[in-house]
Structure 1
Amino acid sequence: MHSIYPLVVSLLANVIAQVLKPIVLYMRTQKFDVHQCIASGGFPSSHSSTVTALSISIGLSEGFDSALFAITCVFSFIVVYDAANVRYYAGKNIQLTKQLISDLEEMKGLKFSDPIYQERLKSVLGHKYVEVIGGIVLGAILPLLLYPLFYS
């Protein structure tokens, strides 16, 4: 039972974060969108909660001085950085590109007939820092709460 603790905690952190997204969106906007459960972006970051839960659970089960904990920490830092920066700015680039196409069509009367211009792209790919921090907090709390269930 001990060996599946990091897996269970990490997957549970992911599921909880995804389930919280439409709830948080509703609290902010009074609009409920169940599709947020499978969406990227939003509060809290499921990427951040998953890898943080993995790192903390490995630290608790294998020791915070273990090589495995070091590996998961490095992995976690990469994923969190990607969620907050690379994926976030990729989404911003998509928004800018969509706006430029719209402006060109409107201002110059151009019609872009190539199907590539009609493709629906997700403009929310990454996270704002507060969303990442929310995911980190969720991912840090869950392993601490569940540790006694696996190691009592």
Structure 2
Amino acid sequence: MSSIYPLLAALLANVFAQVLKPVVLYLRTQKLDVHQCIACGGFPSSHSSTVTALTVAIGMSEGFDSTLFAITCVFSFIVIYDATNVRYYAGKNIQLTKQLISDLETLKGLKFSDPIYHEKIKSVLGHKFIEVLGGILLGILVALILFELLHI
């Protein structure tokens, strides 16, 4: 077994997740947006697929009872939690702030001249549960398939 297997699994899972994003978006909306390949958010979560593939690959190569597997598990839980909660709600806060600024301008006639109020900020930073689940499943699949390919 190659010692680079965990790294390859993680990188491949990330690439596959990013390449799948515009495909899934197209299937849902019939709109092609290749920029989704480098976007945050969307289905599947590349954060989740990457850390899951790394964790499974470490488990397969080092053993599921190894210290290294335990470390990557904890690391993965932190990244996945961040992707679904912290970053998701940061995106929601951005949406709310944009709406408040728009409402104040419309309803109160206020004009915000400071450029910071008109900055283009992406409001979707994190993931919904289903996007994370898709990333986790993709990460497991990539790690297992790559394990089989490298073991032949």
Question: If the TM-score is normalised by the length of the shorter chain, which range does it land in?
Answer: over 0.9
Runs of 5+ consecutive residues of structure 2 not aligned to the other structure: none
1:109-144 residue CA offsets vs partner (Å, 9 max, x unmatched): 110001110111110100000000000000011111
Aligned to 2:7: 7
Q: CA-atom RMSD, angstroms?
A: 0.8
Aligned to 1:78: 78
Q: Which amino acid aligns with 1:125?
A: L
Aligned residue pair count? 152
Q: Which amino acid aligns with 1:104?
A: L
Q: Which amino acid aligns with 2:82?
A: D
The question of 1:94 aligning with 2:94 is answered: yes
Aligned to 1:60: 60
Q: Aligned partners of 2:69 and 2:136: how far apart in 1?
A: 16
The question of 1:37 aligning with 2:72 is answered: no
Q: Aligned partners of 1:135 and 1:5: how far apart in 2?
A: 19
TM-score (norm 1): 0.98
Q: Which amino acid aligns with 2:131?
A: E
Q: Aligned partners of 2:47 and 2:138: how far apart in 1?
A: 11
Aligned to 2:16: 16
The question of 1:143 aligning with 2:125 is answered: no
Runs of 5+ consecutive residues of structure 1 not aligned to the other structure: none
User: Kindly, what percent of the aligned residue pairs are identical?
Assistant: 77
Q: Which amino acid aligns with 1:15?
A: V
Q: Aligned partners of 1:104 and 1:75: how far apart in 2?
A: 42
1:71 Cα deviation after fit: 0.2
TM-score (norm 2): 0.98
Q: Aligned partners of 1:59 and 1:6: how far apart in 2?
A: 9
